[in-house]
Amino acid sequence: MATNFDFLKSTDKNLFDIISEAEKLYRDEYFEQCMGQTRRFGENICKDVLGSRRTSEETFDDMLATLKDKSKGNPQEKEFLDDLYFLKRNGNKSVHSNIVEKDGMKALECLQRAFEVAISYSVFKNGPSDKLLHLQYDTELLVTGKKNKSLAERYNQEKLNQQKLKVKNKSIEKVQKKSEKRKKINKKNGYDKKSSVSKKISIFPIIMLISLTISLTIIVFLLLTFIKP
């Protein structure tokens, strides 16, 4: 089943499995569990990004604090940290809440934030790419698990369908032209199937009448010959 995080599979299979499970939980309407899973995803990414810079940090809060201290303060890093804090905060609420809240919108936002985190992480690991930076979270893909064709793909498919239709119409037109040409040749040669049949039907009674007349004439002649005066 397709997910919004397919691009992450080749970078880190473990992270891909964690966040794919979060999308599955969302589809099954386990929204709180979905948010808890996105928190787990964020924590694992934070741990990976810190890498060797991690010392005594054990909790998600400690790792975020260290990551923030070591940040250069550029807008990309700030957004990355904001998304991670969002995942931590809402993930904690979903895990420790005494009341089960069917908050689908909040779970969706957690997935969308996790998506942005995953893109930043992929850029951190593999470097930027136009394809990666132009990705957008697809809520229809989230719900159905089926990837829809992009606008460009739909345009190309429609163009291909139009070309096929054009070829088909040309083929039909060619057959029609051949048929018309054949009719004209037959007409020119004086051949008309219907008129030929009609002629055969109209000549038949005449032949029968002539045959009957000849037969009657012979009979009369014989009678006159053999009857004595």
Residue 91 near residue 42 (C-beta atoms within 8 A)? yes
| This model's pTM is above 0.85 | no
Q: How does pLDDT run along the chain (229 residues), one tens digit per residue?
A: 789 999 999 999 999 999 999 999 999 999 999 999 999 999 999 999 988 887 777 889 999 999 998 888 899 999 999 999 999 999 998 876 655 566 889 999 999 999 999 999 999 999 989 999 899 999 999 998 887 655 445 555 666 677 777 777 777 877 777 777 777 777 767 655 544 545 455 676 777 788 788 878 877 777 777 665 5
Half-sphere exposure of residue 160: CA atoms within 13 angstroms, side-chain side = 6
- Name the residue with tokens 């007409």: 187
Helix (H, G, I), strand (E, B) or coil at 71: coil
* b/e burial code for range 36-48 (CB count within 10 A of at least 16 → b): bbbbbbbbbbbee
